[in-house]
């Protein structure tokens, strides 16, 4: 069967460079006009930057956030260029445009956008850590290492900006092992992420070091090892492996390269973590700072089985809990056709992942005149014996609104002008003094009921991030139910 998503690596690179990130393409072309070893280029580059007020402002903020520029504040682009050097200025320009371009990606689901920002933060941190590992090298070499490490996964990061059905499909495949996931991406895309990274590096003329790192990852040169180790370290920090020994071994390898002991290395990493956070703020990307995490501790490493349902520690990140829920729902499509199993698993996942106080499935009756509570779970993911039924046929209330509009809603204040006309007496009693989010559950575009998630304490609101995660899990449930219904 032909794969309508497949493209060659060249086609993906062209799509990303020209359609998704054209500003980076034009910026890279502009920067390429100025030679690194030509003194006159510095003045010309400063003049080229000046008309771009956002870029000029960013350059000054970054220049003033670097520790050794703290004595006298830099106030002009030309002065910043002289103090930083042309190679550093080029990297700041490219980093600024890259972060800005990725953050402005449109038409992405909230979960994919969050995934994109996490990848971007990791990549930026990898660049900072790589530069940390070569303190005794020339400034130019440090800048080359920084850029190569930051863009080592640019193909993967940039792919998620394309949006569309394929990104949604591949996002749900992340329950697989890393090797299985990347193999699945290759099968559906027709190209591998490293091919996209290499193609973009060549299109943007980002230097030989990045291309060499992608072509020869096993190279024994310190520069290539540094890029690889920085990339691996950010991956470990973001998602600690099950074997803590792997983490210790990686730190040992980095210590050898830097010729310092483990204690000194850990202190250096924390120092540069704070520097990365400060730089991201200077780049106008404070939303990325939360992903620049400290080194994992022993309690972050776990030997628990992937298949053990919801044996979750408090330390496990929300992203991991959500991914575990997606994994279990997807795996269940291969072993069960019982809709009840999917519904119960989703309700438990929502209560555990997002910490709602009650999660309920309200099933649409066969005559479509009512919805009745079919399953309900409390904040401990324990099933409750809740008996409720709500008329929707001749009643204009929140539940009938959700079914009619076929969309998820968030109600933090049921007395607000937006919702008060949809609050009947029984709905007010159901919500109590709290907040609720509601989402329709569909099977092949046919509504079978509604999932509600609630908090009850007066003044406790459901934030947008919780609402987005709630909606995403219900959407994944809908996809799974539709899949088993077709088979």
53-100 per-position pLDDT tens digit = 999 999 999 998 876 555 578 889 998 888 889 999 999 999 999 999
Identify the band that residue 281 occupies on the pLDDT scale cut at 50, 70 and 90.
very high
Residue 243 has pLDDT above 90, yes or no: no
Contact between residue 313 and residue 326 where contact means Cβ atoms under 8 Å apart: no
Nearest to 15 by CA among 167, 198, 161: 161
Q: What is the mean pLDDT of residues 381-393?
A: 88
Residue 429 burial by Cβ neighbours in a 10 Å radius (0-12, 13-18, 19+): exposed
Residue 33: how many CB atoms within 10 A of its CB? 10
d(CA 80, CA 56): 10
Side-chain half-sphere exposure of 460, counting CA atoms within 13 A: 16
Nearest to 473 by CA among 332, 364, 325, 319: 325
The tens digit of pLDDT for each residue in 424-438 reads 999 999 998 889 999
- φ/ψ region of 205 (left if φ > 0, alpha if ψ in -120 to 50, else beta) reads left
Query: Would you list the DSSP string of 86-130?
Result: HHHHHHHHHHHHHHHHHHT--S--HHHHHHHHHHHHHHHHHHHHH
Could you tell me the strand order of the sheet in which 409-411 lies?
Answer: 389-391, 370-378, 358-364, 446-455, 435-443, 409-411
Residue 237 burial by Cβ neighbours in a 10 Å radius (0-12, 13-18, 19+): buried
Q: Give the whole-number percent of the chain exceeding pLDDT 90.
A: 57
Of 469 and 195, the one with more pLDDT: 195
Identify the band that residue 307 occupies on the pLDDT scale cut at 50, 70 and 90.
very low
Q: Among the residues of 151-192, which ranges form H helices?
A: 154-159, 164-171, 178-189
pLDDT reported for residue 459: 66
Residue 426, SS3 per DSSP: helix
Q: What is the CA radius of gyration of the chain?
A: 26
Q: Is the dihedral of CA 415, 420, 426, 427 positive or negative?
A: negative
pLDDT reported for residue 313: 35
Structure tokens, 338: 């019982």
d(CA 217, CA 198): 12
The tens digit of pLDDT for each residue in 197-217 reads 999 999 999 888 999 999 887
Q: Is the dihedral of CA 164, 165, 168, 169 positive or negative?
A: negative
Longest dimension (CA), the chain: 80
Residue 160 has pLDDT above 90, yes or no: yes
Residues 6+ apart with CB under 8 A from 145: 130, 131, 133, 134, 137, 209, 223, 226, 227
Q: Is the dihedral of CA 268, 270, 271, 272 positive or negative?
A: positive
d(CA 307, CA 304): 9
- As a dihedral over the C-alpha atoms of residue 147, residue 150, residue 153, residue 157, rounded to 10 degrees, the angle is -120
d(CA 242, CA 301): 6
Q: Give the whole-number percent of the chain exceeding pLDDT 70.
A: 93
Residues 6+ apart with CB under 8 A from 53: none
Q: String of b and e for 263-296 (b: at least 16 CB within 10 Å)?
A: eebeebbeebbebbbbbbebbbbeebeebbbebb
All structural domains of the chain: 9-298 (1.10.3210.10), 318-485 (3.30.450.40)
The average confidence (pLDDT) of the chain is: 88
Contact between residue 384 and residue 377 where contact means Cβ atoms under 8 Å apart: yes
Contact between residue 451 and residue 346 where contact means Cβ atoms under 8 Å apart: yes
The tens digit of pLDDT for each residue in 312-362 reads 333 345 667 777 888 888 888 888 899 999 999 999 989 888 878 899 999
The values of phi and psi at residue 270, to 5°, are: -65, -40
Give the global pTM.
0.67
């Amino acid at each position: 069967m032909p794969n309508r998503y497949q493209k060659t690596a060249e086609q993906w690179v062209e799509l990303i460079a020209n359609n998704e990130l054209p500003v980076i393409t034009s910026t890279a072309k502009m920067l390429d006009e100025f030679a690194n070893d030509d003194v006159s280029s510095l003045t010309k580059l400063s003049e080229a930057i000046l008309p771009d007020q956002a870029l000029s402002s960013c350059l000054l903020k970054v220049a003033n956030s670097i520790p050794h520029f703290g004595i006298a504040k830099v106030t002009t682009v030309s002065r910043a260029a002289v103090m930083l050097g042309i190679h550093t200025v080029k990297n700041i320009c490219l980093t600024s445009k890259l972060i800005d371009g990725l953050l402005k990606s449109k038409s992405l689901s909230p979960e994919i956008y969050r995934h994109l920002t996490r990848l971007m933060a990791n990549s930026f941190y990898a660049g900072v850590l790589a530069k940390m590992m070569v303190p005794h090298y020339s400034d130019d070499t440090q800048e080359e290492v920084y850029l190569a490490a930051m863009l080592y996964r640019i193909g993967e990061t940039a792919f998620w900006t394309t949006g569309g059905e394929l990104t949604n499909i591949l996002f749900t495949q992340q329950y697989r092992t890393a090797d299985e996931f990347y193999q699945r991406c290759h099968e559906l895309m027709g190209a591998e992420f490293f091919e996209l990274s290499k193609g973009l590096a060549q299109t943007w003329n980002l230097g030989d070091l990045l291309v060499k790192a992608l072509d020869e990852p096993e190279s024994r040169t310190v520069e290539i090892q540094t890029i690889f180790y920085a990339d691996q370290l950010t991956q470990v920090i973001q998602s600690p492996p099950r074997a803590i020994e792997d983490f210790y071994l990686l730190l040992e390898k980095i210590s050898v390269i830097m010729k310092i002991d483990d204690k000194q290395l850990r202190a250096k990493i924390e120092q540069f973590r704070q520097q990365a956070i400060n730089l991201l703020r200077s780049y106008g990307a404070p939303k990325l700072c939360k992903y620049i995490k400290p080194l994992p501790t022993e309690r972050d490493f776990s030997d628990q089985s992937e298949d053990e349902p919801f044996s979750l520690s408090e330390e496990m990140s929300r992203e991991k809990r959500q991914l575990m829920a997606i994994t279990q729902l997807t795996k269940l499509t291969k072993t069960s056709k019982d809709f009840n199993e999917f519904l119960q698993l989703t309700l438990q996942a929502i209560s555990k992942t997002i910490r709602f106080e009650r999660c309920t499935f309200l099933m649409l009756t066969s005559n479509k005149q009512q919805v009745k509570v079919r399953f309900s779970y409390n904040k401990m993911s324990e099933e409750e014996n809740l008996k409720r039924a709500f008329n929707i046929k001749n009643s204009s209330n929140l539940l009938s609104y959700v079914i009619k509009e076929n969309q998820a809603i968030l109600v933090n204040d049921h007395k607000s002008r937006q919702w008060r006309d949809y609050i009947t007496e029984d709905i007010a009693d159901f919500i109590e003094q709290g907040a609720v989010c509601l989402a329709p559950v569909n099977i092949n575009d046919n509504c079978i009921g509604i999932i509600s998630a609630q908090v009850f304490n007066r003044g406790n609101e459901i934030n947008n991030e919780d609402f987005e995660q709630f909606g995403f899990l219900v959407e994944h449930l809908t996809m799974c139910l539709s899949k088993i219904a077709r088979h």
